[in-house]
Amino acid sequence: MDLFDYMRKNTLEQEAPLASRLRPRSLEEIVGQRHILGNDKLLYRAIKADKLSSLIFYGPPGTGKTTIARVIANTTKASFTQLNATVAGKKDMEAVVSQAKDNLGMYGRKTILFVDEIHRFNKGQQDYLLPFVEDGTVILIGATTENPYFEVNGALISRSVVFELKALEPGDVKELIRRAVYDVERGMGAYGAEITEDAAEFLADIAGGDARAALNAVELGVLTTEKGEDGKIHLTREVISECIQKRVVRYDKTGDNHYDTISAFIKSMRGSDPDAAVYYLAKMIYAGEDERFIARRIMICASEDVGNADPMALTVAVSAAQAVERIGFPEAQIILAQAAAYVACAPKSNSAVNAIGKAMESVKSRRTSVPVHLQDTHYPGAKKLGHGTGYKYAHDYPNHYVEQQYLPSEIEGEIFYEPSENGYEREIREYFKKIKGFSEKGSAESYPAEPH
């Protein structure tokens, strides 16, 4: 490093954003993530002993993935190299691998390669790293906000230990906020700022577990707030609320939180909890989810989880989907809330799911023929072949029902649709009993109190 490099490094450190300056330099300075960094945990022991295997850190922004990698860089005896997958190309990786081979061959020193945003590497780039990770030329540490089981090469996953980082607790964020305000060496302490307890608690809560968002708000507040008569900068709740303005929502329309939130939304409707359903709906709307996607999920739930227990559920859901497309936000949120609440409050049945599932299995496993009396008679020569012979027209009989064979002979007697005891399906069960006169197929034994 020459004089210019040294001066440039010092300038960058001094002018770096607060969140970067406050990065912990040792394990002891890291706040939160005790589930993987407690004194008795594997990762803590591995870092302390400098015995690392390939790792992947997965979690929301601002939870410490890069921070842990930097701590490893400060403690390991191995050569440490960092790449950002958003800008690095194959030539960069080839240079790292070449240097790693030299380090291992000439000095017996291992090389740790930290790849930030590893999910940004395409399949070819990830495949390139695989043999060098496998033979130990490099120890890979990847960081990603996306679920690595979706976004990272399965072979790399199998050769790495995946650690999930959680959103920081409000108490942890509050501790970092106080460091930021009062630390003279690396924080904003030299500015003579003070933060009220109310403001600190508000910011710790609204940051949503994202330390970087909280620290950025502190820095903005200190740099843009005039000093009071006492010569100090007072960070009140009003000041902080202006600096952060909007709660940070853990939601990415293409990422893991997308699937977690829509899953919770559907399960809340299925579980008859309209409050939870509307909450997750609001979270998706707030984060900018496509209203058509939400409407589709409500329609699916109306059929899959409500079905004929309340046939109006699907009608409401379909009408809501059409209305949402015509109206758009912000009014569309009311329509979606109405539909989601209706589906959540409706009686539940998955009889249609079970029916089509059983029928599909039967179709796949057995070859059958349509009974002759049900075959089409409208084309020339059909009647000569005997098609339709013996068919009984249901409307010619009492209750518009007549006992006759409809299923193929090979599976005659099988039951696919079993109405539940919930909602309108109870009426369906009673109707079948009435019209069939408790015949063998329509008897109470054939339709148990609860569907299988």
Residue 452 has pLDDT above 70, yes or no: no
pLDDT of residue 440: 40
Phi, psi (deg, nearest 5) at residue 92: -65, -40
Same domain, residue pair 333 and 420: no
Residue 165 has pLDDT above 80, yes or no: yes
pLDDT of residue 143: 92
**Average pLDDT value for residue range 142-152:** 87
| Across 168-182, 336-350, 376-390, 422-436, least confident range | 376-390
pLDDT tier at 257, thresholds 50, 70, 90: low
CB atoms within 10 A of CB 369: 9
Residues 6+ away with beta carbon under 8 Å from 262? 280, 284, 293, 297
pLDDT tier at 347, thresholds 50, 70, 90: very high
**Whether the Cβ atoms of residue 200 and residue 63 lie closer than 8 Å to each other:** no
**Average pLDDT value for residue range 5-24:** 66
Same domain, residue pair 139 and 46: yes
Q: What is the pLDDT of residues 169-224, one digit of tens each?
A: 889 999 999 999 999 888 888 898 999 998 998 898 888 788 888 999 999 999 99
Domain contains 203: yes
Domain contains 426: yes
pLDDT of residue 16: 77
Same domain, residue pair 130 and 49: yes
Same domain, residue pair 224 and 239: yes
Domain CATH number, residue 338: 1.20.272.10
Residue 58 has pLDDT above 70, yes or no: yes
Same domain, residue pair 37 and 160: yes
Residue 100 has pLDDT above 60, yes or no: yes
**Average pLDDT value for residue range 77-97:** 88
Domain contains 27: no
**Whether the Cβ atoms of residue 447 and residue 355 lie closer than 8 Å to each other:** no
For residue 330, cis peptide bond before it (omega within 30 degrees of 0):
yes
Domain contains 141: yes
Residue 450 has pLDDT above 50, yes or no: no
Domain CATH number, residue 216: 1.10.8.60
Same domain, residue pair 216 and 279: no
Please tell me whether residue 55 adopts helix, strand or coil conformation: strand
With CA atoms as reference, report the closest residue to 118 among 151, 79, 91, 85: 85
Bridge partners, residue 83, by sequence:
115
pLDDT of residue 14: 55
Task: Say what percent of the chain tops pLDDT 90.
Answer: 27
Same domain, residue pair 407 and 340: no
Residue 270 has pLDDT above 90, yes or no: yes
Please tell me whether residue 17 adopts helix, strand or coil conformation: coil
Tell me the two tokens of residue 182. Answer: 């009062």
pLDDT of residue 266: 94
The pTM is what?
A: 0.57
Same domain, residue pair 123 and 211: no
pLDDT of residue 255: 57
Residue 278 has pLDDT above 50, yes or no: yes
Query: Residue 68: which domain range?
Result: 33-164
pLDDT tier at 246, thresholds 50, 70, 90: low
Domain CATH number, residue 388: 1.10.3710
Q: What is the pLDDT of residues 400-433, one digit of tens each?
A: 888 888 888 888 888 888 888 889 888 888 888 8
pLDDT tier at 335, thresholds 50, 70, 90: very high
Domain contains 26: no
Q: CA-CA distance, 18 to 211, in Å (whole number)?
A: 11
Same domain, residue pair 58 and 152: yes
Q: CA-CA distance, 398 to 171, in Å (whole number)?
A: 73
pLDDT of residue 296: 92
pLDDT of residue 346: 94
CB atoms within 10 A of CB 187: 23
**Average pLDDT value for residue range 253-262:** 70
**Whether the Cβ atoms of residue 318 and residue 299 lie closer than 8 Å to each other:** yes
Domain CATH number, residue 43: 3.40.50.300
pLDDT of residue 251: 55
Domain contains 87: yes
Same domain, residue pair 239 and 278: no
Domain contains 304: yes
Same domain, residue pair 239 and 267: no
| Across 22-26, 55-59, 95-99, 162-166, least confident range | 22-26
Domain contains 20: no
Same domain, residue pair 148 and 233: no
Overall number of domains in the chain: 4
- Compute the mean pLDDT over every residue in the chain, rounded to the nearest whole number: 84
